[in-house]
A and B are shown apart, each in its own frame.
Chain A
Amino acid sequence: MSAESLRILLRGGRVMDPARRLDLTGDVLLVGGRIAYAGPPLDPREAEADQIFDATGLVIAPGFIDLHCHLREPGQEAKETIATGTRAAARGGFTTVCAMANTSPPIDCRPLLEYVQQTARREGVVRVFSLAAVTRGLAGQELTEMAELAAAGAIAFSDDGVPIASSRIMRAALAYSRLCGRPIMPHCDDPELLAGGTMNEGPVAACLGLKGIPAAGEEAMVARDLALAALTGGRLHIAHVSTAGAVDLIRRAKARGVAVTAEATPHHLALTDAWVAGHRWEGHGQPYDTSTKVNPPLRSEADRQALLAGLRDGTIDAIATDHAPHTLVDKLCPYDEAAFGISGLETALGTLLRLVEHGELTLDLVIEKLTIGPARVFGLPYGTLQPGQAADVVVFDPQTTWVVDPTRFASKGRNTPLAGQRLRGRVEATFVGGRLVHQTEEFAARQTRALVTR
């Protein structure tokens, strides 16, 4: 039987599709790579399934969409490749990832964009969209050929990793981006306030003697970019919002009608700067553990609470991982010298379900911000179980606990402060276009004999 006509039935799970306000116990039927049905239990004979999985106790949701990850290819294949990064995505329940342009060389022209697209088609196991750089060489001086890049499939534009220091260039980028209708996605920080900083500025940094990165730097740049978006009519998507002040600025800009969306990462939603000093949920970490070094830095508890509030009230549209894999050598050094970044694709769901367990977020909201929320930000035709849509589906067990062991990651990046921590919620299976790209042994054992053979 060809994959095109394969009929897969996921039975008796908790079907959650925030795009359609669906949350019930029922079935999802995938036919020929598309969603055929998602709703109350089907008569199994009617489903005429070739494969049936018993999803009792599991959540069936649209595959997750990550607006922000670093796949490092081309150029930094020791950190990650499209092959390993997309496998990590599949294990994390992500069916679509958007790859950042700060590769080596950066994705600033059409041939490089096509290289990523072709490599992803050949080696990726989930859908990959590439961003393109805002400026040539990420140098912050000349715009890339944005119209051509957008026509070739660049999903958005970002110099992520480096803030765009020049207000003149940022204004031009936002204005020019109206030609192609794709958003500009800035990494907001003031380069002078950021310079030399390694963690959040505050009492923990004061205790550790590390140079702080003040929240005010992010907030000043968010304020500038919101003003420039209003001035130009360009679309702005603010990457990895991390401070209370930035949430407040975005909330007020949205109320004024500025075309802005925003994302927050699981680590900024769940962790604080105390983790740099060794705080952990369970046990104690080492102070100066470089796996906690990330940009923007892990912030204060007040910032974390503001991000959660922003997620709940819609100020923040999406949860994005900012998956930033690094090699051991990049991180096995003094804190000041270590690379910024957390490998996040494989721990995102478990981190977020901890917030659900502690009553800080609802499961429905988490799924919304991983599916239809990000789909809308970049205008992607995914993120829902609406019949007719591509069969991008995640099945996860919201109860199973597991201990994070980075040596077992599919990602090459083992840089996570969550090593050794117990997370609740494990991805059991991931389908992309109806194709099973990841499953646990437990899920494989849930396959039951098809009732009707055709």
Chain B
Amino acid sequence: MVGRKDVLDLNDFTAAEIEQVLRTADAMREILTRPIKRVPALRGKTVVNLFFEPSTRTRVSFELAAKALSADVVNISASGSSVEKGESLVDTVRTLQALGADVVVMRHSQSGAPYLVAQQVQASVINAGDGWHAHPTQALLDLYTVREHFGRIAGLRVVIVGDILHSRVARSNVWGFTRLGAHVVLCGPPTLLPPLDGHTDGYGLPPVAVCTDLEAALEGADVVMALRLQRERQQAGLLPSLREYIARYQITAERLRRTAPHAIVMHPGPLNEGVEIAPDVARSDRSVIEQQVTNGVAVRMALLYLLTGASDER
């Protein structure tokens, strides 16, 4: 993380950098168990949560993380697009910079928007989700949760199920899990899988297995991650019915018999219980969904600390 200004995706993280974040998150988690959950590491720093898309859990998670480090936190939710507001994204962010933001935590509905912002400002930019592209802090908290459970990442079989095409969580997890040596399988209906084959000059996703048959995908899985299914996919004609999606792709207790016996079930939230995941599975002892949320705060504290708090000591 040394010398890094921004966290835009995990594709440019080395395995050592990811490990550093996870180790730092261990220390942060300890802070969160104290009676007074606050350290002065980011005192005097300003963290701006700039959310162009509605979000509860990610925004609150960042806010709690920043406050636990004693940063000043400003929340801006620009509902609707910047175009509707009549102010361009670049103008908005330059204004925040002029107001003294040290870190801009940004969520935007368009893939790549944080890259534009990161080029325009000296402040650190953390991508809290951009379009279909990336959600690196979600992937880091997923890695943290899996590592916590298994003690390792390398060699695990991680199956990500659902709407891969439109999922920034899936993309960032592909980078994170493969970089740490896991085997990743992407599973979903053909209309919700991205095209991954072909010449890219090195600009494609790392090699992963892709399959449309959930039963086959789950064979021997250590980690099963269900993705949220947006109902608009059916309206767009990508799915014939929710009923057929559930029949083929819902994570059920029955289907989980095919996994390794110790397998865990994850979900980035918010859940559509009864759609991508059966309610009893979401609440079962295999589910680590609540740990994911808790770990999110620690991982985001680690990133904020490594990006700004630690920089004074360099």
Contacts and interface: CB of A to CB of B under 8 A. Distances in A.
A279 interface: yes
Interface of A: 201-212, 272, 274, 277-279, 286-288, 300-302, 329, 332-337
B108 A334 contact: yes
B245 interface: no
A195 B197 CA distance: 23
Given A209-B134, A333-B89, A333-B90, A204 B112 contact: no
Contacts of A209: 111-112, 130-134, 168, 171
Contact of B204 (A203, A210, A278, A301): A203
Interface in B126-152: 130-134
B205 A300 contact: no
Residue of A202, A205, A272, A278 most packed against chain B (CB within 10 A): A202
Given A203-B198, A334-B116, A336-B131, A210 B205 contact: no
Q: Which 3 A-B pairs have the closest CB atoms?
A: A209-B133, A288-B112, A206-B194
B203 A300 contact: no
Given A203-B204, A333-B90, A210 B171 contact: no
B75 interface: no
B201 A272 contact: yes
Contact of A287 (B88, B112, B132): B112
Interface string B31-66: 000000000000000000000000000000000000
Contact of A206 (B110, B112, B195): B195
Given A333-B116, A337-B83, A202 B110 contact: no
B119 interface: yes
A210 B171 CA distance: 12
B273 to A, nearest CB: 26
Interface of B: 83, 88-90, 108, 110-113, 115-116, 119, 130-134, 165, 168, 171, 194-205
B201 A210 contact: no
Contacts of A207: 171, 200, 203-205
18 contacts: A203-B197, A205-B194, A206-B165, A207-B203, A207-B205, A208-B112, A209-B112, A209-B130, A209-B168, A210-B131, A210-B132, A211-B132, A277-B203, A287-B112, A288-B111, A332-B90, A334-B108, A334-B112
Given A208-B133, A333-B89, A288 B115 contact: yes
Contacts of B134: 209
Contacts of A205: 194-195
A209 B197 CA distance: 15
A214 to B, nearest CB: 9
B198 A300 contact: yes
Nearest to A289: B115
Contacts of B199: 203, 272, 300-302
A332 B89 CA distance: 9
B82 to A, nearest CB: 8
A377 B90 CA distance: 44
A203 B112 contact: no
A278 to B, nearest CB: 7
A140 B232 CA distance: 30
Contact of B110 (A278, A302, A332, A336): A336
Contacts of A287: 112, 115
Given A204-B204, A205-B195, 19 more contacts: A202-B200, A203-B195, A204-B203, A207-B200, A207-B204, A208-B111, A209-B134, A210-B112, A278-B203, A279-B202, A287-B112, A287-B115, A301-B199, A332-B88, A333-B89, A333-B90, A334-B89, A334-B111, A334-B113
B88 A333 contact: yes
A206 B204 contact: yes
A135 B177 CA distance: 53
A296 B89 CA distance: 26
Contacts of B171: 207, 209
Contacts of A333: 88-90, 116
A336 B111 CA distance: 8
A206 B90 CA distance: 25
Given A203-B198, A208-B133, A334-B110, A279 B115 contact: no
A206 B201 CA distance: 14
A278 B112 CA distance: 12
Residue of A203, A329, A332, A334 most packed against chain B (CB within 10 A): A334
Given A274-B201, A278-B203, A334-B116, A206 B196 contact: yes
Contacts of A332: 88, 90, 116
Nearest to A279: B201
A201 B115 CA distance: 21
A335 B112 contact: yes
Given A332-B90, A334-B108, A203 B131 contact: no
Nearest to B9: A287
A274 B200 contact: yes
B111 A286 contact: no
Contacts of B194: 203, 205-206
A207 B111 CA distance: 10
Contact of A335 (B88, B110, B168, B202): B110
Contacts of A201: 195
A279 B171 CA distance: 20
A332 B108 CA distance: 16
Nearest to A212: B195
A203 to B, nearest CB: 4
Contacts of A337: 83, 110
Contacts of A210: 111-112, 131-133
Contacts of B203: 204, 207, 274, 277-279
A210 B195 CA distance: 12
Nearest to B194: A206
A211 B132 CA distance: 9
B177 to A, nearest CB: 15
A344 to B, nearest CB: 22
Nearest to A210: B111
Contacts of A208: 111-112, 133
Nearest to B81: A337
Contacts of A288: 111-112, 115-116
Nearest to B170: A209
Contacts of A335: 110-112
A287 B130 CA distance: 13
Residue of B83, B119, B195 most packed against chain A (CB within 10 A): B195
Contact of B119 (A204, A286, A302, A336): A286
Contacts of A202: 195, 198, 200
A72 B50 CA distance: 36
A324 B226 CA distance: 44
A208 B113 CA distance: 11
